[in-house]
Chain A
């Protein structure tokens, strides 16, 4: 069965720190990768997606993700986090979601 693994369940950072959230997926033919974000009190929403082409994908709010085929990875990055980035982040491959990573950013 296909699966998605997120390495960190909880991450705590100070503002301006750099962020990298790990995501690995099991092989499943074509690659359809997503990062979704759930801000406190809000609906889950799309952050970015990758289907093909440039493996470095840019999303909303300064987030980016890099697809590395050889590692089956799709890690999410942001050079400098803000307090408003506090949220839960979910990696997904097709319709399969990871367990999520709760990010808390302290001022």
Chain B
């Protein structure tokens, strides 16, 4: 079945360590996105990529980094500069590229990061 695979599902890290969350899609979608979900705050956009080797900052990009070397993959690194990294992270993709906002998002199952 086509879809988005996020790994790991649960991750524990010590404060000050960088951590990378994996996101792979086999939908042949052009665009990919990372959101952060916190209770009572909904989903907030971290980064998105419309095409390989290109990505744009979302609303809360500080303390995060991404790469898009392959169409299928869009890993997110949570760096030690992120002040409050404990959260649920959702990866999504859309068939259409562009930030016009017409893109219907397909989501992965999410990764829960806890920083101790």
Chain B contact-residue range equals: 20 to 34
Of A13-21, A40-48, A68-76, A79-87, the one contacting chain B is: A40-48
A32 in contact with B108 (CB, 8 Å): no
For the complex formed, measure the closest distance between the CB of B110 and the CB atoms of chain A, giving whole angstroms.
8
A94 in contact with B107 (CB, 8 Å): no
Q: Which of B43, B45, B102 contacts A51 (CB 8 A)?
A: B102
A22 interface residue per 8 A CB criterion: no
A96 interface residue per 8 A CB criterion: yes
A44→B110 CA distance, assembly (Å): 10
A30 in contact with B101 (CB, 8 Å): yes
On chain B, the residues within 8 Å of A93 by CB distance are 101
B104 in contact with A44 (CB, 8 Å): no
Of B15-23, B33-41, B68-76, the one contacting chain A is: B33-41
Q: Which of A32, A45, A97, A100 contacts B35 (CB 8 A)?
A: A97
On chain B, the residues within 8 Å of A98 by CB distance are 42
A99 in contact with B41 (CB, 8 Å): yes
B89 interface residue per 8 A CB criterion: no
A11→B28 CA distance, assembly (Å): 37
Chain A contact-residue range equals: 20 to 34
On chain A, the residues within 8 Å of B44 by CB distance are 97
On chain B, the residues within 8 Å of A32 by CB distance are 100-102
A90 in contact with B100 (CB, 8 Å): no
Q: Which B residue's beta carbon lies closest to that of A1?
A: B59
For the complex formed, measure the closest distance between the CB of B10 and the CB atoms of chain A, giving whole angstroms.
15
On chain B, the residues within 8 Å of A9 by CB distance are 40
- Given known pairs A32-B102, A95-B45, A99-B41, the reply for A43 and B58 (CB within 8 Å) is no
B104 in contact with A95 (CB, 8 Å): no
A99 in contact with B40 (CB, 8 Å): yes
Q: Which A residue's beta carbon lies closest to that of B107?
A: A44
Residues of B at the A interface (CB closer than 8 Å) are 33, 35, 40-45, 48, 58-59, 90, 92, 99-105, 107-109
The 7 closest A-B pairs by CB, nearest first: A94-B101, A32-B101, A97-B43, A99-B42, A44-B107, A97-B42, A43-B107
